Structure 1
């Protein structure tokens, strides 16, 4: 967490996060144009934000796009702020992750575990329910197979989709249609990619939620920081977080 606090301490880096909050997936040139400083200085600030996990980059052709990654902020909230604030709070004041003007959301987190154990936590229905709003993934794990996201306390399926790619324990790609509300269902089908990469004694997990409608309802993607924070906590400590991501529908 020290890297996160150091990165947030600088006003220029906070301004870069604000710029990505306003419009996600920007190039270096686009970000640089917002500041009266050198390109090299902006590059240094972005590198520090990347090292802190607050910014994730992705290549698109010859361009390198920068995305705001809210997961470290969620971890700060779950570790400290939730001790003093209402545990059902969804975000830190003044640093939101409502990024409405993009077709793609990218979330990254490091978890001290093995790829095999992380894969099991993502695909096993009982484990998935511990951090995924109480919902497990029910269905055959094979390309072309359908699945539902079911939670006993919900009274109805929370989602459904089709598995597109399966490469254990590295990559899982699925389409998803949210069913937990009429507003979410109206957004139609999007796609979720789980990418697992071993890094030393840990794994880097990157979740990409794309094929979203421009300005899509935040219900579709706003819960990912809570889900990933709950996943990390459960794998590393065996404990559940007292957040909706870990408890909602969990005791139906």
Structure 2
């Protein structure tokens, strides 16, 4: 059995249990919860809940991010997205897309006030931590897989720019470097509308090495609205897929993956 098949099996196994689905629903409603918060409304011992969360973590459906002494649990959409692309999209995608749009609209009408969740996405790359760090911070490399050059000296307090590579030199995103710990952690502010009267969102890149691979976790916090959440929910998976392809094959994907959301719209 291939590694891909094992990964798919672990996701289906994790989703088969109603308690684990309930935990995922809780994270979908309010991402970034501690174990205590998740256990508040569960009729089970803390140890049993921990065991269920361990299954979800092994399936990469849940990611744990440390914030000081706290361990926050986040829903990782990557495995579910992969299943949707492999198993669902080929059956009746236009009809399913329509039904999903109707459901989303109904949910938006029903909910009068909701908080904007933090977005977390993780991917595994066959590369070293140093190579992934370079891919995130080298302007020439980001230009290859992102169609933008990320320009900075990447020192804490420095500015960075997300410049187009179409010859216009236009800058679409700006920000500041908050933390820079090569080759494991980079934290930046992310301002796509710098003139807006609001605090910038914050992106954290966490690079964790394990033998010949790394896990790259991207956390995007302080989102101003659901419109931006929707945009980055399409954008980050596409950008990271292109980065992964470049790291593992030496080439980016044959078509720009972020264009797929425009085709499916």
If the TM-score is normalised by the length of the shorter chain, which range does it land in? 0.7 to 0.9
Note if contact 1:103-1:213 (Cα within 8 Å) is conserved in structure 2: no
Q: Residues 1-252 of structure 1: matches in 2 within 5 Å? A: 1-2=7-8, 3-60=10-67, 62-77=69-84, 101-102=115-116, 104-132=118-146, 134-153=147-166, 156-179=170-193, 188-213=199-224, 217-219=228-230, 221-222=232-233, 223-237=235-249, 238-240=251-253, 242=255, 244-245=257-258
Say which SS state the counterpart of residue 147 (structure 1) adopts.
strand
Answer 1 or 2: higher relative contact order, Cα 8 Å, separation at least 6.
1
For 2:127 and 2:20, the matched residues in 1 are separated by 30
Gaps of 5+ in 2: 1-6, 105-113
For 1:83 and 1:135, the matched residues in 2 are separated by 32
C-alpha deviation, 1:121, in angstroms: 1.4
Q: TM-score, normalised by structure 2?
A: 0.72
For 1:169 and 1:62, the matched residues in 2 are separated by 23
Higher-helix-fraction structure:
2
Q: Which has the larger radius of gyration?
A: 2
Q: How many positions carry a matched residue from both structures?
A: 239
For 2:69 and 2:171, the matched residues in 1 are separated by 41
CA RMSD of aligned residues (A): 3.8
Say which SS state the counterpart of residue 48 (structure 2) adopts.
helix
C-alpha deviation, 1:239, in angstroms: 4.0
Structure 2 vs 1, CA of residues 141 and 29 (structure 1 numbering), >3 Å: closer, same or farther? closer
Q: TM-score, normalised by structure 1?
A: 0.75
Between 10-19 and 218-227, report the one with greater CA deviation.
218-227
